[in-house]
Structure 1
Amino acid sequence: MSYLIQLFIVLLLTKIGSHLSNILKFPSVIGELLVGIVAGPAVLHLLSPTTFIHYFSELGVIILMFIAGLEGNLEMLMKYWKPSLIVAVLGVIVPTGSAALLCSLFFGFSWETSLFIGLVLSATSVSITVQVLREMGRMDSKEGAMILGAAVADDILCVILLGLSISFIGSRGTTGLDLIGLIGPKVLFFVIAFVLGKWFVPRFLEIFSKLSASENETTAALILCFGFAAIAVLMDMSDVLGAYFAGLAISETKFKEKLSLKIEPIGYAVFIPVFFVSIGLSISFKGMQNDILFIVLLIIIAILGKQIGCGFGAKMFGLTWNEANIVGAGMVSRGEMALVVANVALNAGVIDASHYTAMIVVTVITTLIAPVILKIYIQRTSTNIIYEND
């Protein structure tokens, strides 16, 4: 199928899906995710996960997290770094431990397989959470700051645990990784991001703003976005993490408001819808009938593990239960890191193709459910605030 026809179908259907989703009082992202499932290999076969859609979706999630950084509040992130770390740690321990115990004791898997399945459920992706927070005006709240801070820590913890797990099963065909070599580039990334963000980014934007060309600042912002993302990948970090820090650095400059108005139309008109659709395209219902119980139980653990672990961590730092539940729900969504862990486990021979497919299904379905839960808790908190004011 021509890439032009693919893009035509995606853009047309995502707008219809978003419209219907909003009419039904769901977050618009649910409509876009469902478009991927219905139009994809699972149902109508109008779309498939092609190379074109893959790269377009990669750009979409990078721009989405860049926008999240632009709308971020560095002062609030620094203020909530301690609770964010605790939220991340509990959000890894509870679902990982619960899933590993379930797989080992109930399904009889080896400890290696159980551990990797648990690690798949430990990895949070806040890309979709960011969309819901933006729609409901909660990006600049203490819950939003805590979620974003915890997501950064969660990513690092997951990478470290993945490296340790691979080193333990190195004799099964995967080369053991040196822990210092694993952690070192991550630490270096944060140093580089801090230095560039504080001293280079403002000057870079100032220089570009004086050039005699069209859309100077917008181009400069995108250069920084993709540049930071590339640096993150070179340091074995997620590209979306680099893009987020680029946006966060720009948010501390005088160009923040102007660039937010310029970048958002670029992302939300074309690239970001393709990203949400691509998640739904990875769903396939073939061969799932043999793993229904396994999938259902893991979905329950995936949701409750993050909700309880992260929510309890947030509650420890003085949030109300409703606010803590927002944090928990905001950490439920899974994404690219979960897929990476599942792929590593498959390549290492720790899980077979059938259970790999089951983990992909768990990841996608959990991601579909997460924004609904998040919206419910945000609405509940907003209702309580109205009653208190009355």
Structure 2
Amino acid sequence: MLEIALIYLAAAIVAVPIAKRVGLGSVLGYLIAGILIGPYALGVVGDQTDVMHFAEFGVVMMLFLVGLELQPSRLWTLRHSILGLGGLQVVLSAAAIFAFCYWFFAMHWQTALAIGLMLALSSTAIVLQSLEEKGWLKQEAGQNAFSVLLFQDIAIIPILALLPLLAFAPQTSTKEISDSIIASWPVWQQVCVSVAVIAAIIAGGKYVSAPLFRYIAQTHMREIFTIFALFLVVAIALVMQSIGLSPALGTFLAGVVLAESEFRHELEADIEPFKGLLLGLFFITVGASINFELLFNEFSTVIGLVVLLIVVKACILFALAVTFKINSKQQLLFALALAQGGEFAFVLLSVTTTLSILTPEQTSLVTLVVAVSMLIAPLLLMVYEQIQKRSSSALPEFDKPEQISTAKHVIIAGYGRFGQIMGRLLHAQGYEITVLDHSPSQIELLRRFGNTVFYGDAARQELLEAAGAHTAQMLVIAIDNPDKTIEIIKLAHKNYPQLKIVARAIDRRHAYQLLNLKVDAFNRETVDSAINLAVEALELLGNTKQDAERAGKLFRDHDRAAVLQLAALWGDDASYGVAVRQRMEDLKQVLQQDKQAQSDLNTCDSGDCENGLTEVTSKPKKPDDAHLE
């Protein structure tokens, strides 16, 4: 097993970067890697059916992440495209393919219908990954493609229930072709159990999972948080599979429920690496499963069927895009994105073979057609991309991130007392605030007051990206960890150079670091409050309000100038020590001279001198005072 893992990883390391470099994309790179190591090329791996079943968890995790991006309100707005557009696509595509198989290829109607149903489905893994990689998933075409894919996932359930009714071998029990523990139950009981499980997933996500995530987050052990996230995904997938439902559908619903929680971005960051790894493994196994011996022996037949499948589905999809008034510039993208066969066809093929609906020869041919169409799918999107680049009128109109006003968007990392004050002021001025904080108790409190707060570590690029850092105007770093602040600043400078960065400085040393990193603004957290309190203390000690406030202003201005000057000397202990002592002496002299000047002015105001005012105001400025003006 370790040898196989090493081969898969090595193939991905070699093929995927090359494919990306030449513009083929990562999905096609993984498929090519699978072809190279498969039994019909280098032959280093054989039949990897078990590996494919394991890798299908990548699709499950992808649907969980997609669910996290969709709040229930957003899903409700997609109901027409899911049921209308998705439903018509499956029905019309299945009917068209059935007609070809029944009349042109003279198949039994049961076989023709089974093939029509399985080929009507598209590849969730390839479509979503390719659209996301090219930045098209949030466009109108991408959102409608997602709606169709979601309906297809739902349609798997009735299709699996229908297949036994098409069987030529009625003695084969449903139990023999399904892992479902309720397969032998009456249909009405199966429906009730399915509805109950789905309701339990939705309720559990809201009332059980979210509190558990808060409890685990309080331990501040990121690995436990990640382990629980993986446990949740795998457990839901297992439960759904055990009752004959789509595991991907179950995890998608769980993701939708958790989309409203403060842990949404952290969950995305934790699951994303596993999703990417397993999806890559899935694509490699698809590439390795292509039967090139059959392809070469029946080349014209296979290619003809692949072209026929893509053309039929693309025409139906394009007609639906026009009917549902999808943006005319994106109708072709919608049609090409969904024109291939899908991974669920492999599952349905195993069932139809067991039921003797398809012969072994037909199963091999359909499997090859589906695999080749999936291989061609990224190439179709590359063709669309070239058409788009050559036509200025077809340039994509990217959607703005949901719920974020790019014109007045500020991200605040850390929402304790310091961050809250800044957030309240910015929000009062009309700026939309996205908050990232790592304290579960603080988040819970803020959410009670209607604040939009998310649990996460702002030092992780995935979280900054999810929070909209690529379009935000400003990043406010208000956390109380100097090292983490520096880490976030470096990350933001590297990946989001357009961001203005405002940071909370813990002390003078931290302020020097922020200056050297060239942040746009910073403030030491205790300086202003300490100076304000010192001003009040001076008043209580008998000084006038005007004198006390003037002394406070002089101190503040001198201190800021000192920080700017001393930042360049930080690290050189000898020079820094001398400069600090000199600045302290300068401050003392400035305050004494100002006090004396004010005393002289007061004396002149009382009429005790004649030329004192002229003498005071005509004094030359000392070099040390010049920067204060």
- TM tier, smaller: 0.7 to 0.9
The aligned counterpart of 2:320 is 313
Q: How does 1:95-106 map to 2 (within 5 A)?
A: 95-106=93-104
SS of residue paired to 2:239? helix
| Aligned-residue offset at 1:294 | 4.4
In the alignment, residue 151 of structure 2 is paired with which amino acid?
A: A
Q: Residue in 2 aligned with 1:25? A: 23
Tell me the residue number matched to 1:253.
261
- 1:87 and 1:328, CA in 2 relative to 1: closer, same or farther beyond 3 A? farther
The partner residue of 2:230 within 222, 233, 246 is 222
CA distance in 1 between counterparts of 2:356 and 2:339 reads 27
Taking the aligned partners of 1:69 and 1:384, their CA distance within structure 2 comes to 33
One-letter code of the match for 1:220?
F
Of Structure 1 and Structure 2, the greater strand share is in 2
Tell me the distance in 1 between the aligned counterparts of 2:319 and 2:10.
41
Give the structure 1 partner of residue 375 of structure 2. Answer: 368
Displacement, 1:179? 5.2
Q: Match for residue 349 of structure 2?
A: 342
- Residues 1-390 of structure 1 correspond to what in structure 2 (within 5 A)? 3-50=1-48, 53-54=51-52, 56-169=54-167, 172-175=170-173, 180=188, 183-211=191-219, 213-268=221-276, 270-288=277-295, 291-377=298-384, 384=393, 386=395
Q: Answer whether contact 1:87 1:310 (CA < 8 A) is retained.
A: no
- Larger RCO (CA within 8 A; separation ≥ 6): 1
Inter-CA distance 165–88: structure 2 relative to 1 (3 Å threshold): same
* Contact 1:225/1:247 (<8 A) preserved: no
Cα offsets for 1:188-230 (capped at 9, x unmatched):
4432333233333322211221236442322222122112212
Q: What's the CA shift for 1:358?
A: 0.7
- Name stretches of at least 5 consecutive residues in structure 1 with no aligned partner: none
Contact kept? 1:57, 1:274, Cα under 8 Å: yes
Cα distance change on mapping 1:201 and 1:331 into 2, 3 Å: farther
Secondary structure in 2 matching 1:322: coil
Cα 1:215/1:35, change in 2 over 3 Å: same
- Is 2:168–2:357's contact at 8 Å kept on the other side of the alignment? no
Cα 1:14–1:72 change in 2 (3 A) is: farther
What is the alpha-carbon distance in structure 1 between the residues aligned to residue 76 and residue 387 of structure 2?
27
Conserved? CA contact 2:329–2:394, under 8 Å: no
RMSD: 2.9
Q: 1:307 offset after TM fit, Å?
A: 2.4
- Aligned partners of 2:17, 2:225: CA distance in 1, in Å? 32
Is residue 166–residue 357 contact of structure 2 (8 Å, CA) maintained in 1?
no
**How many angstroms apart in 2 are the aligned matches of 1:221 and 1:331?**
30
Amino acid of the residue matched to residue 128 of structure 1? I
Amino acid at match of 2:274: I
How many residues are aligned here?
386
Paired residues of 1:86 and 1:313 also in contact (CA < 8 A): no
> Once the 2 structures are TM-superposed, how far is the Cα of residue 119 of structure 1 from its aligned partner?
1.7
Structure with the bigger percentage of helix: 1
The letter for the 1-side match of 2:309 is A
Letter in 2 for 1:355: Q
My pick for the range that moved more, 81-90 or 324-333, is 324-333
Give the Cα separation in 2 of the matches to 1:273 and 1:246.
Answer: 23
Task: Show CA shifts across 1:112-151 (max 9, x none).
Answer: 1111121220223311112112212233344333323322
Q: Distance in 1 between matches of 2:73 and 2:340?
A: 25
When structure 1 is superposed on structure 2, of 353-362 and 153-162 the one drifting more is 153-162
Letter in 2 for 1:54: M
Unaligned runs of 5+ in 2: 175-182, 399-629
TM-score (norm 2): 0.56
1:221-248 Cα distance to aligned partner (Å, 9 max, x none): 2122112212221331222222333333
